[in-house]
């Protein structure tokens, strides 16, 4: 019995040491840490805010909508006083997204900025889509779409069928956020 307790103690110690040595920053931790920084703009949208334009939408579209759990939005607006913060935070996000667990779906260069779309999961069963857009004149935005077994082509079809619930507090907050961005 004494040996069993020693063995269990050893396993617990190994688990603690292994988890303490985790050096790869996670996107979830980055979101949580950044939300606490007043320089960032943050909005969390539940899937209930997403509604279809047409109530007669196909069963496939309705099922795709059910695969989305929530959408997280995080932005850092660039101004004269936070250029250093912008550059360091942009590098942090890029470093996180370089982790091999994030697979790149799309990369676009647009004027003074670029957009990348990455995902976690399998190609036909995505659990998280991450959209990161950075513009060297305006700032950056990071959007996470969390769900279960999302299919990229179905999500694109769904995006054309979505309407937003204009009376929701989350949407009003998001609208105010964009009206304040210059």
pLDDT tens-place string over residues 102-135: 999 889 998 888 999 899 988 878 888 899 999 9
Q: Evaluate whether residue 16 is within a structural domain.
A: no
Q: Evaluate whether residue 17 is within a structural domain.
A: no
33 alpha carbon, distance to own chain's centre: 14
Q: Evaluate whether residue 19 is within a structural domain.
A: no
- Angle among Cα 103, 31, 181 to the nearest 5 degrees reads 100
Please give the backbone phi and psi of residue 25, each rounded to the nearest 5 degrees, phi first.
Answer: -70, 145
Q: Evaluate whether residue 83 is within a structural domain.
A: yes
Ramachandran class of 74: left when φ > 0, alpha when ψ lies in -120 to 50, beta otherwise: beta
Domain extent at residue 169: 24-180
How far is Cα 127 from Cα 108, in angstroms, rounded to an integer?
A: 22
* Structural domain count of the chain: 1
Q: Evaluate whether residue 10 is within a structural domain.
A: no
Q: Evaluate whether residue 86 is within a structural domain.
A: yes
Query: pLDDT digits over 12-69, tens only?
Result: 444 444 444 445 678 999 999 998 898 999 988 877 766 666 667 777 777 777 888 8
């Amino acid at each position: 019995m004494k040996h069993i307790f020693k063995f269990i103690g050893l396993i617990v110690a190994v688990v603690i040491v292994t988890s303490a040595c985790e050096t790869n920053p996670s996107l979830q931790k980055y979101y949580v840490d950044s939300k606490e920084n007043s320089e960032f703009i943050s909005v969390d949208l539940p899937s209930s805010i997403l509604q279809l334009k047409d109530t007669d939408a196909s069963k496939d579209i309705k099922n795709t909508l059910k695969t989305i759990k929530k959408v997280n939005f995080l932005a850092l607006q660039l101004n004269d006083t936070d250029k250093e913060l912008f550059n360091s935070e942009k590098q942090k996000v890029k470093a996180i997204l370089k982790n091999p667990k994030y697979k790149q779906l799309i990369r676009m260069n647009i004027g003074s900025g670029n957009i990348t779309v990455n995902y976690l999961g399998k190609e036909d069963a995505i659990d998280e889509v991450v959209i990161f857009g950075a513009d060297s004149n305006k700032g950056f935005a990071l959007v996470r779409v969390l769900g279960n077994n999302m299919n990229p082509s179905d999500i694109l079809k769904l995006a054309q069928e979505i309407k937003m619930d204009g009376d929701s507090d989350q949407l009003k907050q998001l609208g105010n956020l964009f009206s304040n961005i210059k």
